Structure 1
Amino acid sequence: MFETMSGAELMALALALAVVGCCSGFLAGLLGVGGGIVIVPALFYVFDFLDIDEAIRAHLAVGTSLATIIPTSIISLRAHRKREAVDDALLKSWGPMIALGVIIGVVIAAFVDGKALTGVFGIVALIVALYMLFSLEGTRLKDGLPGQPWRSLIATFIGGVSTLMGIGGGTLSVPILSLFNFPLRRAVGTASAIGLIIAVPGTLGFVINGWGAEDLPPFSLGYVSLVGFAAIVPTSMLFAPYGARAAHSMQVGWLRKSFALFLGLTGVKMVWTLFS
């Protein structure tokens, strides 16, 4: 593993993860997705390159991704707050149920194998990407979020599935909020806060789930790789404010297409992995 790699290989790996951090940080600010949509598949293939056991590869990628989302979401949230693009009322309403969804997701992750996590990531990413690409501009179910219990069920669903995917809540919350006529830029800003609500307990859960697991790489806390975290976070935090700035200067149509493009590409890659 790391001890068998040459100095040049280690430097190349660190550089690759730093670039992943740049991309994930920019996307966290731009799309409110916490960067996990890039980090999970990137780490999955890095761990494959390092010949980490397939049984823990997906769990390690998801857990590490959730850990990197914590600092990135904080930076992104601060940038969006400066532009008054965070809906605090929605956060108060959704926050507890999102946290409940995270707990449910962590419990499920403890009992499923890596292929299940990979499949969840790929399939959900593809569904959301197809919706964003082919739904008509302005399509909505109704003006405003539904009442209870549907509002709580939506929040729980976002928290649970996002935890299983290792992503910030923006991947699901942005298109769902758009369906209920929520302003897109405000949805993106609020999603950065949702990502933080998901990432903190989600990371703790994956640390606990993976504690003492066999064949973990060096410098791991459960299913969280400290090497991956240390390589990705600095550049991710550096580029998150640039993404937030771009989100408020780009046209909404381009923002929507960018979101769908990244979801579609990563979804296809992960689903293909199941059959290769």
Structure 2
Amino acid sequence: METWLVVFSICLALGAVIGFMAGLLGIGGGLIAVPALLHILPGVGIPAEHLPHVAIATSLAAIILTSLSSARAHHKRENIPWELFRSMMPGFVLGAICSGFISELIEASFLQQIFAIFVILMAIQMAFPFRPNSNRSMPSTVSLFFAAVIIAIIAGMMGIGGGVLLIPFLTWCGLQMRYAIGFSSATGLLIALFGSIGYTLAGWNVDTLPEGTIGFIYLPALVGIATTSILIAPLGAKAATNWPTAKLKKIFAVFLAFVGLKLVLT
């Protein structure tokens, strides 16, 4: 069997896990996809010097369709504050596009270490959630622009939609949780889309990547993850009504911490 077909099949299973966990726990797929792809992609000839870039870029591209589905659902429920979205959108676009080019400038081993530390920090955040302060007011437009740029750069470099960063920030600014989550779904689509464009352009002239890549995005893995994650996510959301999600988040946080530590020591 062709190696790319093996990877595609594995990523179908990976996408199912990502979709279910996303629906169940409300987490972005990048925290699961990137560590998995770091182990899967060497089998198709992705060179070590570009492995983290391809894993992150592929994860980011897979978020596009799942974010679109989530954003549509939140829009129907009127959970997205579009006026705030329009004011922050230029910052998200700029930061997302820049993320791919900034990532390319960072040595692969160091980028993997950064991602590992990020995973550990997100595990801590999941185990001990941030408590919002509803007494604060929304910052100025200029402050929101720079916050959007920074969040989009970090999210793009880590291959995530940005919700784990954006939701705590918006709730800290006093936005209600339902609107923060809805806003995050829309910006996740924006960051994933323009971040993918940035990674595509940044890796366009890299000639050491195997067939099946567009820039830094590896298409068989992308299609595999996206296909099943979209189909399975509703099952996870349905399970969330009956399963003890608070306890499951803490268990998953421990798992993430171990993944992060393993990547640090690799």
Q: Does TM-score exceed 0.5, indicating one fold? A: yes
Instruction: Note if contact 2:47-2:208 (Cα within 8 Å) is conserved in structure 1.
Output: yes
Q: Secondary structure at the match of 1:118?
A: helix
Contact 1:76/1:244 (<8 A) preserved:
no
Do the aligned partners of 2:167 and 2:184 also contact (CA within 8 Å) in 1?
yes
**Residue 201 (structure 2) aligns with:** 208
Q: What CA deviation, in whole Å up to 9, does each residue of 1:20-55 have, x standing for no partner? A: 212323444556654222211111111144453211
Q: Give distance in 2, aligned partners of 1:190 and 1:27.
A: 20
CA distance in 2, matches of 1:26, 1:209: 31
- What amino acid maps onto 2:196 in structure 1? T
Query: 2:158 — aligned with what?
Result: 165
Alignment of 1:1-276 (within 5 A): 3=2, 5=3, 10-11=5-6, 13-29=7-23, 33-50=27-44, 52-134=46-128, 138-140=131-133, 142-243=135-236, 249=241, 254=245, 262=252, 265-266=255-256, 268-276=258-266
Cα distance change of structure 1 residues 135 and 39 upon mapping to structure 2, 3 Å threshold: closer
How far 1:127 moved relative to its partner? 2.1
In structure 2, the CA distance between the partners of 1:143 and 1:245, relative to structure 1 (3 Å rule), is: farther
| Percent identity between the two aligned chains | 33
Cα distance in 1 for partners of 2:248, 2:167 equals: 13
The one-letter code of the counterpart of 1:202 is G
Q: Is the 8 A contact 2:99 2:198 kept in 1?
A: no
Gaps of 5+ in 2: none
Q: Name the SS of the counterpart of 1:149 in structure 2.
A: helix
- Residue 164 of structure 1 and its aligned partner are, at CA, apart by 0.3
Shift of 1:202: 1.0
CA contact (8 A) 2:203 2:215 kept: yes
Counterpart of 1:184, as a letter, is: M
Q: 1:259: Cα distance to partner?
A: 5.6
Q: Is the alpha carbon distance of 1:100 and 1:243 closer, same or farther for their aligned partners in structure 2, counting shifts above 3 Å?
A: farther
Would the alpha carbon gap of residues 25 and 140 (structure 1) be closer, same or farther in structure 2, given more than 3 Å must change? Answer: same
The answer to whether the 8 Å contact 2:24/2:238 transfers is yes
Contact 1:132–1:175, Cα closer than 8 Å, also in 2: no
Give how far 1:148 is off: 4.2
Structure 1 residues 81-118: Cα deviation after superposition (integer angstroms, max 9, x where no partner)? 23333222221122111112113322211211222322
User: Could you tell me how far apart the structure 1 residues matched to 2:242 and 2:142 are?
Assistant: 35
Structure 1: stretches of 5+ with no match in the other structure:
none
- What is the Cα deviation at residue 261 of structure 1? 5.4
Tell me: CA distance 1:241–1:87, structure 2 relative to 1, closer, same or farther (3 Å). Answer: farther
- Residue identity opposite 1:18 in structure 2: L
Change (3 A) 1:182 1:164: same
Are the equivalent residues in 1 in contact too, given 2:25–2:245 (CA < 8 A)? Answer: no
Report how many aligned residue pairs link the two structures: 266
- Contact 2:81 2:183 (8 Å CA) reproduced: yes
Give the AA of the match of 1:102.
A
Give per-residue Cα distances to partners, 1:59-83, cap 9 Å, x unaligned: 1111111111111111121222233
Two-structure CA RMSD over aligned residues (Å): 3.0
Q: Secondary structure of 1:52's match?
A: coil
After TM superposition, the score normalised by the length of structure 2 is 0.85
